[in-house]
Structure formats: structure tokens, C-alpha cells
Amino acid sequence: MRRLPIALTLLAALFVVLSSAKERPGALLPKPALDASPTTARGQRTAVLAGGCFWGVQAVFQHVKGVTSAISGYAGGSASTAEYETVSSGSTGHAESVKITYDPSQVSYGELLRVFFSVAHDPTQLNRQGPDEGTQYRSAIFYSNDEQKRIAEAYIAQLEQARAFPHRIVTQVTPLQAFYPAEAYHQDYAARHPDSPYIAFNDLPKLDHLRELFPSLYKAQRSSAQAK
């Protein structure tokens, strides 16, 4: 979808605006009832999330306070297939993902998930997100320990019980085997191409929603796309 000629891209973007606006996340969801224990000790932890094209997901988390880096990449498949053109075939097992490094004294894992479900993507879309289709665009949480798994599963159950979405949540909760950073030209893509029709219609509204719904978590200066 992202490699169409300019004219077709513009038409696709217009279609998204007119017919898919309701698919965009932008509703403040309840806080997770189960979250990591509060801490005042500064440190670094990581979360790996997949919610469609990694350009927009990266852009959202780069503007969350406490996040020190957000890197676009691939998770769910093998090292030998962690390459954009190959992943785009939809047959590698990879999902376009973002590795988030954060300070748990400033933002919790549960708060990151709240942002993920509220503004970063629509967790009810199966193997697609907005105009992009394929298993590489699936919704997934790749947990790195039992605590992350418990928090993720509990929050999804909480949202389902509250009927937070009109359709069933299809987000996968699966163990992280490895994360592979994407090619350099994918990093900071939304920040470097704000006038791209794809970014303007699909991703910039997510930043507006983040600022409006999470004013205490939003930061104007984006985090790095490099690990600290």
C-alpha cells in the first residue's frame, strides 16, 4: 500500500479520510487494573508492540514521557527474513513492531499499553491496520517476562469486559524471541516525512490524540530512534 504511485497514494489517502476515519483510535480507555509495581528508582526496561505500520506506532511512543527510545523493527520471525521487502510478503511470521525503551519511574508498562490501545492503533482489526493488510500488520504484544504477560492479558480482559470497543480485541500476546531493527530509512519516518499523504492521514492524527488524551504523558520533543 505504501509503494503505490503518487496519484494512487493520494486517492487511497482520501479514501482513508472519508471512509475509514472511524477506524482510527482516539478514545481514552480506563487505566489498567493490574500494572507493574510503582518505583522511584530510575532504570531502563523495554516493551515490544506491533500495531500496523511501524511508522505511526514509533511516532506515538517517541512522544511519551519516560520513553528514551523507540525503534522500528520486526518481531515474530527469524533473523534471515528480517528485511522489509521479505517481511512485506506476509509469509515470514514477522510483524512490523516497535521496541520501546522506557524509564519505569516515569511511565509504567501498563500506561504504555493504555496508550497503545487508546491512540496507537485499532486492536480489533485482524491482520490489517487502516489501509495496510497482511499478517505483518497484525496487532501483537511481544512480552519479555511473565509480568508483562500477566499485565497484557489482564488489560485485554479488562477492556473486553468493559466493552471498550464495538468489536472483539484480536491482539496477540506472545513471547518475544528476538527483535530486529528495521532499515535506517524507516527510522523517524513520520517525523522526516510529515507531508506524506500516508503520514498526514494515518499517523499525525495519532499524535493529536496522544496530546489531547494524555496531556500528562505527552512530550513535544521526540525520543531517539537509537537505543541508549
pLDDT digits (tens, 9 = 90+) for 108-166: 999 999 999 999 999 999 999 999 999 999 999 999 999 999 999 999 999 999 999 99
Instruction: Please determine, for residue 13, whether its predicted confidence score (pLDDT) is greater than 70.
Output: no
At 6, is the secondary structure helix, strand, or coil?
Answer: helix
Structural domain for 47, as ranges: 41-213
Q: How far apart are CA 204 and CA 6, in angstroms?
A: 19
Higher pLDDT, 18 or 102: 102
Q: What is the average pLDDT score of the chain? A: 91
Instruction: Please determine, for residue 26, whether its predicted confidence score (pLDDT) is greater than 80.
Output: no
- Assign residue 187 the CATH number of its domain: 3.30.1060.10
What's the structural domain count of the chain? 1
For residue 221, is it within any domain? no
Instruction: Please determine, for residue 4, whether its predicted confidence score (pLDDT) is greater than 70.
Output: no
For residue 188, is it within any domain? yes
For residue 189, is it within any domain? yes
Residue 218 CB partners (closer than 8 Å, separation 6+): 63, 64, 65, 210, 211
For residue 81, is it within any domain? yes
The mean per-residue pLDDT over the stretch 78-101 comes to 98
For residue 203, is it within any domain? yes
For residue 19, is it within any domain? no
Confidence at residue 25, expressed as pLDDT on a 0 to 100 scale: 57
For residue 15, is it within any domain? no
Q: How far apart are CA 62 and CA 225, in angstroms?
A: 8
User: pLDDT above 90 covers what percent of the chain?
Assistant: 86
Least confident among 12-21, 61-70, 112-121: 12-21
For residue 24, is it within any domain? no
pTM for the full model?
0.90
- Mind telling me the catalytic residues? 53
